[in-house]
Amino acid sequence: MVEALTEAGRYERALEWCQAGLDRITANDDSPQAAEYRHGLLIDRGFLRGELGIELDEDDLAAEAEANASFAQFREGLRDALSQGPSVDVPEDGEAFDGIVLRWVREDFTAVRARWLESTAHYGDDYDTYAERLQREARAYSEAGAARVRMVSATLAEFEAYTHRQGRDADAAETRRSFGEWYALTGHPERVLLWPPARNGPCWCDSGRKYKKCCGAPTKN
């Protein structure tokens, strides 16, 4: 509700909802999840108070400082990560090209990691880490000049069927790359998405959250 009211420009009403949420959490819940939610509400409250010309209190300022520090730390880490990769295939002749990012669906993540143990560092220890890596890969394609970037969401069963039909080596990284290119042209349209999606649309990673609140959040870009 706070987000909807803020987007509608109803800052005073949004501030009332925000404060009510803070009051409920402070009075009834001291769990780690509640602390994280409280921090988010404090960030929202600080923004709303600033827009309304209301002086920020100590909690607002502390939350803002913590958010700025976390963001700066993340940006520094991201610069380091991008300086080391991910590498993307770019034509040397300057021709227009599409960036294709192959994403294994959440349900298959554990099986995929077990399938290619040598790629564990690429996939990460959990799906959120994997999604962050794919977000960086998509951005790398965009920054390299791709005409468009397509996020291909496929299953391990589809990959195995592809390698069987094509007689390809399922363990070769090149086969996974060619599968992504093939799927981008022939796969289910609803699972071949243009990146980035709309900020208020569903995130490409199937988290169920809006893109701007998930992989498109400022702390991940």
Rounded mean pLDDT, 182-200: 87
Rounded mean pLDDT, 137-152: 90
End residue of a domain, out of 80, 104, 119: 80
pLDDT in tens, 114-141: 888 777 777 888 999 999 999 999 998 8
b/e burial code for range 120-148 (CB count within 10 A of at least 16 → b) = eeebbeebeebbbbbbbbbbbbbeeebee
Q: Are residues 58 and 90 in the same domain?
A: no
Token digits of residue 27: 């009075």
C-alpha Rg value of the chain to the nearest Å: 21
The residue to which tokens 């993307």 are assigned:
88
- The reported pLDDT for the residue numbered 83 is 47
Q: Are residues 170 and 131 in the same domain?
A: yes
The helix-helix angle for 173-186 and 156-166 (nearest 10°) equals 100
Q: Are residues 104 and 172 in the same domain?
A: yes
Q: Are residues 106 and 165 in the same domain?
A: yes
| Residue 14: strand, helix, or coil | helix
Q: Are residues 172 and 211 in the same domain?
A: yes
End residue of a domain, out of 80, 102, 123: 80
pLDDT in tens, 40-69: 788 888 888 888 888 888 887 887 787 777
- The reported pLDDT for the residue numbered 88 is 56
Q: Are residues 165 and 216 in the same domain?
A: yes
Token digits of residue 158: 């589809």
Say how far apart CA 138 and CA 39 lie, in whole Å: 30
Q: Are residues 115 and 193 in the same domain?
A: yes
Asked if residues 135 and 185 have their Cβ atoms less than 8 Å apart, the reply is: no
Domain housing 40: 2-80
Token digits of residue 62: 């502390």
Q: Are residues 102 and 24 in the same domain?
A: no
Q: How many domains does the chain have?
A: 2
**Long-range CB contacts (within 8 A, 24+) of 115-121:** 115/156, 116/171, 119/173
Other residues' Cβ atoms within 10 Å of the Cβ of residue 151: 25
Q: Are residues 194 and 108 in the same domain?
A: yes
| Residue 218: strand, helix, or coil | helix
Q: Are residues 53 and 110 in the same domain?
A: no
Q: Are residues 71 and 104 in the same domain?
A: no
Task: Answer yes or no: is pLDDT of 5 > 90.
Answer: no
Say how far apart CA 221 and CA 216 lie, in whole Å: 7
Strands 148-154 and 192-195 come out as antiparallel
Q: Are residues 213 and 105 in the same domain?
A: yes
Token digits of residue 157: 């069963």
Burial class (CB in 10 A: 0-12, 13-18, 19+), 214: buried
Residue 202, beta-bridge partner list? 210
pLDDT in tens, 192-208: 999 999 989 999 999 99
For the whole model, what pTM was predicted?
0.58
Asked if residues 105 and 153 have their Cβ atoms less than 8 Å apart, the reply is: yes
Asked if residues 60 and 49 have their Cβ atoms less than 8 Å apart, the reply is: yes
